[in-house]
Amino acid sequence: MLQQTQVSTVIPYYQKFLQRFPNLESLANAETDEVLALWSGLGYYARGRNLHKAAQVIRDSHDGRFPDDLETLTSLPGIGRSTAAAILALTWDQHQTILDGNVKRVLARYHAVPGWPGTSKVQKQLWQLAEAHTPERRCGDYTQAIMDLGATVCRRSQPLCTACPVNKDCRAFRSDTVTNYPEAKPKKARPHRNAHMLVITNKWHQILLEKRPPTGIWGGLWSLPELTELPASLADWSLEHYGIKIEKFQALENVDHSFSHFDLTISPLICHTRGTGGRVMDKPGQLWYNAVPAITGEVGHPPEPKTRLGMATAVKKIITAYQRTLERPNT
């Protein structure tokens, strides 16, 4: 969870995740939907999918015992060289070298390493420095210490250099160039994309959701039907794809969402139907989501899915916007 996400953001997710999955077996035996539901809002959902897969590999291929060697650990889904080394150093006090974002920042400043750490040349240099600094003894203590040094003292912005225990040997501090290291990633114009999301609703105010492919943006999450361009006739399109006839449309306010490599503007469109759902319930990867639980008492109303659904924050915002339309009179 801490990869690419700040501690303050992670803590409540981490606590809920551990409460539901207190051990490897409970995580490995869980449904993917439940894992992603608890991950919803953290972003970078491949991390959640890989964590789940890794638990299943350990259960099925390692008799439920967590591997204690670097080669086996790095073969697990989502565990790279630095993460594996941190696990081994902190858990078994093995002599392993890590290079996470905090450590890169400490070493880049301490040695005044020029260049962006994302390049292979700078990355290689930082690994060499990290290995040179890693002690043979008490490696676990050192690993925790250098990560904490980067997180609490040698911070990205407003570093506490005067409180740093190694500032007298820090080249960047001595030359008053701390803010120059590490160099930022060269800026590029961020691509911008547009998409339409359809809030297709039935007579019970349920919303049609589809499960996205396991890889790619929001992989494995439940989402609204998405179109790059609207067809000439949405009514014909929905009839062809879902066996549903749309009778009324209503636009919602656009939703802007940023990914790591592009920005997305979503134009949601409520698509009202009179039917109960056509052939949707017969197709895998599709379901009707009860957007208004209070209405579930109606006779014949389908029940909620037994498992919580993982949904992206942007999709949740659109569903919330739809729910608000139901609270207004004459809508």
For 27-38, write each residue's pLDDT tens digit: 999 999 899 999
Burial (CB count within 10 angstroms: exposed 0-12, middle 13-18, buried 19+), residue 256: exposed
**Cα first-last separation, the chain:** 41
Mark whether 208 and 321 lie in a shared domain: yes
- Torsion sign across C-alpha atoms 283, 41, 296, 196: negative
pLDDT of residue 331: 43
Mark whether 213 and 168 lie in a shared domain: no
Mark whether 130 and 206 lie in a shared domain: no
Burial (CB count within 10 angstroms: exposed 0-12, middle 13-18, buried 19+), residue 19: exposed
Mean pLDDT, residues 62-67 taken together: 94
| CATH assignment at residue 246 | 3.90.79.10
Burial (CB count within 10 angstroms: exposed 0-12, middle 13-18, buried 19+), residue 218: buried
The model carries a pTM of: 0.77
Q: Which residues contact 7 (CB under 8 A, 6 or more apart)?
A: 151
- Show the domain range for 72: 1-79
| Strand pairing report for 206-211 and 222-223 | antiparallel
pLDDT of residue 291: 78
Q: What confidence category does residue 224 fall into, taking pLDDT thresholds of 50, 70 and 90? A: very high
3-state secondary structure of 151: helix
**Domain ends where: 79, 100, 117?**
79
**Domain ends where: 159, 187, 215?**
187
3-state secondary structure of 23: coil
Chain position carrying tokens 């006839």: 245
Structural domains of the chain, count:
3
**Domain ends where: 149, 164, 187?**
187
Euclidean distance between CA atoms 152 and 198, whole angstroms: 44
Across the chain, what does the average pLDDT equal? 89
| CATH assignment at residue 116 | 1.10.1670.10
How crowded is residue 269: how many other Cβ atoms within 10 Å of its Cβ? 19
Mean pLDDT, residues 143-167 taken together: 96
Instruction: Name the amino acid, one letter, at 70.
Output: L
Euclidean distance between CA atoms 289 and 284, whole angstroms: 14
3-state secondary structure of 289: strand
